[in-house]
Amino acid sequence: MDKISLVVPCYNEQEALPYFYEAACKIVSEMSEQAFEFIFVDDGSKDNTLEIVKKISVEDKRVKYISFSRNFGKESAMYAGLQNATGDYVAIMDADMQDPPSLLPEMYTYVTSEKYDSVATRRVTRDGEPPIRSFFARLFYKVINKMSKTDIVDGARDFRLMNRKMVDAVISMEEYNRFSKGIFGWVGFNTKWLPYVNVERVAGETKWSFWKLFLYSLEGIVAFTTAPLAISSILGFTFCLLAFTFMIIIIIRTMLFGDPVGGWPSLISVMLFIGGIQLFCTGILGQYLSKAYLETKKRPLYVIKEDNFS
């Protein structure tokens, strides 16, 4: 009998959690051929999420929970869940029902076939999302896929079912700056993509502000491509060439026509422009340096306050 672990990261999900648990239980009872395990990861919630999870875990022996000492972010929560999952297959699901549990049976049939090691979901519409956010999201996927060799799929959600081999591969990537969408692509394996129409969260509100998403996208770029570093070197080189050409032109012009002192405004503009580019490139360098700095500290990805594993 196969065992499936459902990893559910939760941050302030007191409103949505009961709905999720009820819906998931319904599907679980329909899949009577498989054993199930729930792993709720409370990511330092400030509301009653932990109390709700604890209550469920007392009534339902399949429910395990981990509670962090503070909010470490969804990436850490997913990692903790994967590390503690004991199933032959592991699914990562949001607590807000945006990852419909009803897809599980179909996902399971794919992943048990020889061909696929994981089944991932991709939303085909971005309905219910502010247009500006959709625009930047699309732009981000275009940019990162141009720059990175790892395939990062537009609209991919973290909702996926993986077999043990793939889970172990993901766990073996112990980096501090985690960007799961890239990690899943990087480890390889055969993935079946299930497109589905975006569902709005059942209760509560999104934990991702525009700013949080922006920082997360930078994380993705820095973690999965070093192209910006190459681009800044190329920029620097191009400007050196340009400057050299200008110098030659100015020398020749001065020898032919004497010494014209005009051209101050253009000089200032050029100086400001080059200064800007320099700061921009130093900034890029700084991003990589800061990530490398954090990696070398080897801090744990999360700190557990309590759990019910032992």
Residue with tokens 């920029």: 235
Selected binder of ligand UDP within 43, 117, 219, 307 (CB under 6 A): 43
CB 53 within 8 A of CB 307: no
Strand partners, 122: 156, 195
Instruction: In angstroms, give the least distance from the CB of 189 to ligand UDP.
Output: 23
When the beta carbons of 94 and 219 are compared against Mg ion, the nearer one is 94
13 binds ligand UDP (CB under 6 A): yes
Longest dimension (CA), the chain: 93
Instruction: In angstroms, give the least distance from the CB of 210 to Mg ion.
Output: 15
Residues from 175 through 204 that contact ligand UDP (CB under 6 A):
201
Residue with tokens 């729930």: 38
Nearest 5°: the CA angle 30, 104, 207 is 120
Selected binder of ligand UDP within 9, 87, 185, 228 (CB under 6 A): 9
**Stretch near ligand UDP under the rule CB under 6 A, chosen from 137-145, 159-167, 205-213, 254-262:** 205-213
Residues from 232 through 291 that contact ligand UDP (CB under 6 A):
none
Q: Please give the order of strands across the beta sheet that includes 118-123.
A: 191-196, 118-123, 156-163, 89-92, 3-10, 35-42, 63-68, 304-307
207 binds ligand UDP (CB under 6 A): yes
77 binds ligand UDP (CB under 6 A): yes
184 binding partner (options ligand UDP, Mg ion, none; Cβ < 5 to 8 Å by kind): none
**Stretch near ligand UDP under the rule CB under 6 A, chosen from 5-13, 58-66, 227-235, 290-298:** 5-13
Residue with tokens 């309905």: 127
Nearest residue to 16 (alpha-carbon basis) of 96, 74, 93, 101: 96
98 binds Mg ion (CB under 5 A): yes
Residues from 191 through 210 that contact Mg ion (CB under 5 A):
201
10 binds ligand UDP (CB under 6 A): yes
123 binds ligand UDP (CB under 6 A): no
219 binds Mg ion (CB under 5 A): no
Nearest residue to 202 (alpha-carbon basis) of 102, 125, 97: 97
Query: What is the rounded CA–CA span in Å between residue 187 and residue 248?
Result: 52
Query: What is the rounded CA–CA span in Å between residue 55 and residue 65?
Result: 11
When the beta carbons of 43 and 219 are compared against ligand UDP, the nearer one is 43
307 binding partner (options Mg ion, ligand UDP, none; Cβ < 5 to 8 Å by kind): none
Instruction: Identify the DSSP state of 151.
Output: -
Q: Residue 10: helix, strand or coil by DSSP?
A: strand
75 binding partner (options ligand UDP, Mg ion, none; Cβ < 5 to 8 Å by kind): none
Nearest 5°: the CA angle 39, 31, 83 is 25
Q: Which residues here bind Mg ion, judged by CB under 5 A?
A: 94, 96, 98, 201
Q: Which residues here bind ligand UDP, judged by CB under 6 A?
A: 9-11, 13, 43, 71, 73-74, 77, 94-96, 98, 201, 206-208
